[in-house]
């Protein structure tokens, strides 16, 4: 993680975010992206029971039981939906849950920007679903109403806007293991640019304490939709 941080003037979505009850399903060619509901618990648990799907998580191991999945699922539900923009990813054709993702943290501890994550069931990897999800998700994310804020962010993520020295282009952030080729390709296909690389002790249970190399990616918001000029 970078040691140099800077206060910037930028934009971010209004908080509280729109609650799940006000989020319309996002439809793509093959997918429906909608808030996860309590009755999705069984399929959510099946996703989180796959060791492969859990490789990118902080703990790195599958849930041991339904209670662990229920606890993880609470991040998707009210009242936590006011600070998270998370969705389930379902096949349009069958309604089956194949993945999940979105912004799970509005202020990443590793760079200050909102942070994206995602995971998909292993049997559906390498068929373009994560890319299809993230592209549609980002359109919804950038469409949220925004306001101007001051925010502490890591210095290397900063993009200045053309016409102002003090205004910084809003970013969305993701980080991944340097060896997670699939995740890096998804990010790069959507226009994310790598801006950092660091090594830290792994948090994953099977590698705890061992050095892991991580890479940080940012994507800039297009500068056409800034709706207020109020600073927090």
Ligand X SMILES: CC(C)(COP(=O)(O)OP(=O)(O)OC[C@H]1O[C@@H](n2cnc3c(N)ncnc32)[C@H](O)[C@@H]1OP(=O)(O)O)[C@@H](O)C(=O)NCCC(=O)NCCS
**Residue 97 · residue 39 · CB < 8 Å:** no
**From candidates 6, 28, 49, 180, binder to ligand X by CB under 6 A:** 180
Distances (CA, A) of 171 to 208, 215, 220, 230: 30, 16, 5, 19
Q: Which of residues 184-223 bind ligand X (CB under 6 A)?
A: 185-186, 189
Residue 41 Cβ vs ligand X, minimum distance, rounded to whole Å = 19
Residue 127 Cβ vs ligand X, minimum distance, rounded to whole Å = 5
Residue 53 contacts ligand X per CB under 6 A:
yes
Residue 81 Cβ vs ligand X, minimum distance, rounded to whole Å = 21
Q: What angle do CA 181, 54, 218 make, to 5 degrees?
A: 50
**Per DSSP, what are the bridge partners of residue 9?**
150, 167
Instruction: Return the number of the residue (18 or 182) whose C-beta is nearest ligand X.
Output: 182
Would you tell me the crossing angle of helices 181-189 and 129-143 to the nearest 10 degrees?
50
Q: Which of residues 125-144 bind ligand X (CB under 6 A)?
A: 125-131
**Residue 168 · residue 156 · CB < 8 Å:** no
Count the alpha carbons within 13 Å of 85 in the hemisphere toward its beta carbon. 28
Which range binds ligand X by CB under 6 A, 22-30, 50-58, 142-150, 223-231?
Answer: 50-58
Residue 197 Cβ vs ligand X, minimum distance, rounded to whole Å = 14
Instruction: Return the number of the residue (6 or 105) whose C-beta is nearest ligand X.
Output: 105
Q: Within a 10 A sphere around the Cβ of 129, how many other Cβ atoms? A: 21
Instruction: Return the number of the residue (67 or 123) whose C-beta is nearest ligand X.
Output: 123
Residue 101 Cβ vs ligand X, minimum distance, rounded to whole Å = 8
Residues 6+ apart with CB under 8 A from 134: 101, 116, 118, 186, 187, 190
Which range binds ligand X by CB under 6 A, 5-13, 119-127, 165-173, 197-205?
Answer: 119-127
Interface ranges with ligand X (CB under 6 A)? 53, 55-56, 117-120, 125-131, 176, 180-183, 185-186, 189
């Amino acid at each position: 993680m970078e040691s140099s941080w800077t206060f910037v003037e930028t934009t971010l979505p209004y908080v509280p975010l729109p609650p799940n009850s006000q989020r319309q399903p996002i439809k793509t060619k093959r997918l429906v992206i909608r808030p996860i509901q309590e009755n999705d618990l069984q399929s959510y648990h099946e996703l989180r029971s796959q060791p492969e799907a859990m490789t990118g998580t902080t703990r790195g191991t599958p849930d041991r039981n339904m209670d662990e999945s229920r606890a993880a699922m609470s991040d998707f539900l009210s009242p936590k939906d006011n600070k998270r923009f998370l969705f389930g990813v379902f096949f349009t054709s069958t309604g089956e849950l194949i993945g999940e993702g979105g912004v799970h943290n509005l202020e990443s501890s590793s760079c200050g920007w909102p942070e994206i994550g995602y995971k998909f069931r292993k049997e559906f990897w390498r068929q373009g679903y994560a890319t299809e999800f993230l592209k549609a998700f980002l359109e919804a994310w950038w469409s949220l109403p925004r306001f101007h804020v001051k925010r502490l962010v890591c210095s290397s993520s900063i993009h200045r806007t053309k016409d102002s020295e003090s205004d910084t282009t809003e970013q969305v952030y993701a980080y991944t293991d340097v060896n997670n080729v699939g995740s890096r390709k998804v990010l790069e296909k959507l226009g994310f640019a790598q801006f950092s690389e660091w090594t830290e002790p792994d948090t994953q249970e099977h590698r705890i304490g061992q050095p892991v190399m991580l890479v940080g990616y940012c994507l800039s918001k297009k500068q056409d939709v800034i709706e207020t000029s109020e600073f927090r």
